[in-house]
Amino acid sequence: MKQFKIVILLFTLYTASVKSQHLEDYKLWLKYERIESKTVLQSYADLVSQVYFPTDNEVLENAKNELSTALPNMLGKPVEFSENLAESTLIIDRYDQLPNALQKLIKEDVDNLNDEGYVIKTVAYNNKNISLVSAKTNIGILYGTFRLLNLMQMNEDLAGVSLADSPKIDLRMLNHWDNLDRSVERGYAGFSLWNWQKLPEYIDQRYIDYARANASVGINATVLTNVNANALVLTPMYLEKVEALAKVFRGYGIKVYLTARFSAPIEIGNLKTADPLNEEVQKWWSNKAKEIYARIPDFGGFLVKANSEGQPGPQNYGRNHVDGANMMATALKPFGGNVIWRAFVYSEHDDTDRAKQAYDEFLPYDGKFKDNVVVQVKNGAIDFQPREPFHPLFGALKETPIAMEFQITQEYLGFSTHLVFLPKLFIEVLEADTYQKGPGSTVAKVVDGSLYNNAISAMAGVSNIGNDLNWTGHPFAQANWYGFGRLAWNPYLSADEIAEEWLRTTYSNDKKFIEPIKEMMLTSREAVVNYMNPLGLHHIFDTGHHYGPGPWVDNLSRPDWNPVYYHKADENGIGFDRTDTGSNATEQYAPFLEKKFNDPATTPEMFLLWFHHLPWDYKLKSGNSLWDGIALKYQKGVDQVSTMNATWENAKPFLTAHEYEEVKMLLQIQLKEAKWWRNACLLYFQTFSKRPLPKGVEQPNKSLEEYRSLKFPFAPGIRPQWN
């Protein structure tokens, strides 16, 4: 009996610990774990021995709450808040509230901040060194507080700290492709966070934790609903729920946006048309804006997908994108709202290379949009592929604010099963030189508005968040949410620093853990390119769900939905000729790049088959033939994932059993799927190349027919079916 009791006790302890370990994933990079180093602990205990942190509004209260939760966890004792500024060791307060003597000490730093920036500085005051967190605004204080806690989590030396930081981009926004039925288009982390049925009364703790996580990296806007929009979200029943979410997010400096279905005046307004030049329609949108702002005074505005992939838009009425966007902009303008108008357009009635269509359509509109319109452009001209050259609209639109749209959710990157550190992809695009205003005209400078002095700058990330306990499906996908936020704040950060920050706040400060795992993260993006789309291949994914390879697909209703359209493999060779002998997409780039991309010899090999159709025996820089080069890249991708598995294995001593196991299982699936990609693509392309696999490339263990027969009717990320 006694033995039985012990077993029960052990089992209970075991399940409790497993549970709490799982809950650790929920905390993201805000774990605030007990600091181990005694020296660091002592220096932080001194730093916060008396904290002066007056609050007179919700944003400051949220900042103070964060501190009150974090410090006891990290330091093992409660925080001593004090009302006596002169006696305090840490002072957190808005600049305008500080005594003159303190203001003087940080005046220069504060003068250089923008409205959301902050200063964290050690200053000599009242004959002692104290730490000061200050800002011009409440939100600056919240960001500064999060930064201080982030530095503490990384055990940074804070004696003598002097840091002033401001975001370089105005709108740092998540785009949720969340439907009102809680399914998430291209979502791989469960269902939507927004529990529409229980809102507005029921405020899930998740909404608050979501806002905390976003604010901690500076994300200041969220579009709650899918760009494939449902007009119902603009009806009073839903607006009341949106209002409740906006109330929570306001306290963390996050503005709410909604997607606006262009045909809403017909669907929910009983009008006969949605023609943007029709007065009734214009009035309807103005009234709708008024109604929304009466509930949500700081409402951000509308995000619109129009005349794209079946969504209604101004072209349904013979009007154009400018007519549509400006009509909505006029409605929002009196309230300070923005229209974010997407440039993701390509038409089934246009047989021009799909990669060219958005540029052709939007360039003539440059300078014609109202000043509260931002045109949102995907990072590449096709669709969030593992690798694409930057979209030629970046740098070409000179008088129109242009928002970068990145996809954080891994639609074409192995869903939430594959470990892919996306800041590498984002930074590759941001660092690309458009040459549109001479050398050095990088995409980052276009996006932060500095190249053309745009009035609004914006970066959007299609969210990878769902109601999975760990938010993002794969624990390492949390790093992509984190990394997106950091880059939206500062598009010039390096992937190395982002990975390091995330690892240290999420897992451990131990260098022996960080160095190899950081290396694993930094190579993971190239690995996925290698085993899915090497040398500029793109869009060879299986139909609809985009899970796994489907290079053979050739039977879809639109030519530009078929993988064969993109790789154009035949007996002579492979690749899409986008040079002046082909679709001439190269002419959409600045002359320097156009010339470079027109010649295979000067085209970076990572984009070779994006721009050129080349013979199978074309000689690569390595001396290998194109066929051998493709095969070796596929193999390399697989080998890289094998190495990732081994690296993780070695990290075991630094991890809890749960942390270790979950990523290990996922990496094993990734390895299996990398092999699947390699085998399926090589077997298929081999039917054209008619060449053997080069030495070093593993022979596939299944036939092409077997790979072709695989079907995934219930793959996540597309509308669920009942049967």
Check if the beta carbon of residue 182 is closer than 8 Å to that of residue 193: no
Say how many residues touch ligand GCV, by CB under 6 A: 10
The pairing of beta strand 162-165 with beta strand 118-125: antiparallel
Between 344 and 566, CB nearer to ligand GCV: 344
Q: Which residues contact 33 (CB under 8 A, 6 or more apart)?
A: 73, 74, 153
Check if the beta carbon of residue 293 is closer than 8 Å to that of residue 332: no
> What's the closest the beta carbon of residue 305 comes to ligand GCV, in angstroms?
5
Which one is catalytic: 46, 58, 156, 309?
309
Q: Which residues contact 36 (CB under 8 A, 6 or more apart)?
A: 509
> What's the closest the beta carbon of residue 355 comes to ligand GCV, in angstroms?
14
**What whole-number distance in Å separates Cα of residue 118 and Cα of residue 106?**
11
Check if the beta carbon of residue 225 is closer than 8 Å to that of residue 184: no
| 565 binding ligand GCV? (CB under 6 A) | no
Specify whether 411 is catalytic. Answer: yes
> What's the closest the beta carbon of residue 306 comes to ligand GCV, in angstroms?
11
Check if the beta carbon of residue 33 is closer than 8 Å to that of residue 44: no
| 490 binding ligand GCV? (CB under 6 A) | no
Between 70 and 477, CB nearer to ligand GCV: 477
**At which residue do the structure tokens 């190495």 appear?**
643
Closest by CA position to 385, among listed 429, 338, 322 = 429
Of positions 168, 241, 305, 356, contacts ligand GCV by CB under 6 A: 305
| 227 binding ligand GCV? (CB under 6 A) | yes
Check if the beta carbon of residue 459 is closer than 8 Å to that of residue 404: yes
Between 406 and 482, CB nearer to ligand GCV: 406
Specify whether 201 is catalytic. Answer: no
| 383 binding ligand GCV? (CB under 6 A) | yes
Between 267 and 309, CB nearer to ligand GCV: 309
| 418 binding ligand GCV? (CB under 6 A) | no
Other Cβ atoms closer than 10 A to 221: 25
> What's the closest the beta carbon of residue 406 comes to ligand GCV, in angstroms?
11
Between 164 and 306, CB nearer to ligand GCV: 306
**At which residue do the structure tokens 């949102």 appear?**
376
Other Cβ atoms closer than 10 A to 444: 25
Which one is catalytic: 383, 526, 577, 662?
383
Check if the beta carbon of residue 690 is closer than 8 Å to that of residue 538: no
Between 375 and 574, CB nearer to ligand GCV: 375
| 566 binding ligand GCV? (CB under 6 A) | no
Crossing angle for the helix pair 478-489 and 495-506, to the nearest 10 degrees: 130
**What whole-number distance in Å separates Cα of residue 63 and Cα of residue 61?**
5
- Residues 339-358 binding ligand GCV (CB under 6 A) are 344
Between 305 and 567, CB nearer to ligand GCV: 305
- Residues 159-218 binding ligand GCV (CB under 6 A) are 177, 185-186
**What whole-number distance in Å separates Cα of residue 591 and Cα of residue 438?**
10
Query: What are phi and psi for residue 223, nearest 5 degrees?
Result: -100, 115
Specify whether 383 is catalytic. Answer: yes
* Interface pattern 122-161 for ligand GCV (x via CB under 6 A): ----------------------------------------
> What's the closest the beta carbon of residue 360 comes to ligand GCV, in angstroms?
18
Of positions 21, 55, 97, 228, contacts ligand GCV by CB under 6 A: 228
What positions carry a catalytic annotation? 309, 383, 411
Binding residues (CB under 6 A) for ligand GCV: these are: 177, 185-186, 227-228, 305, 309, 344, 383, 411
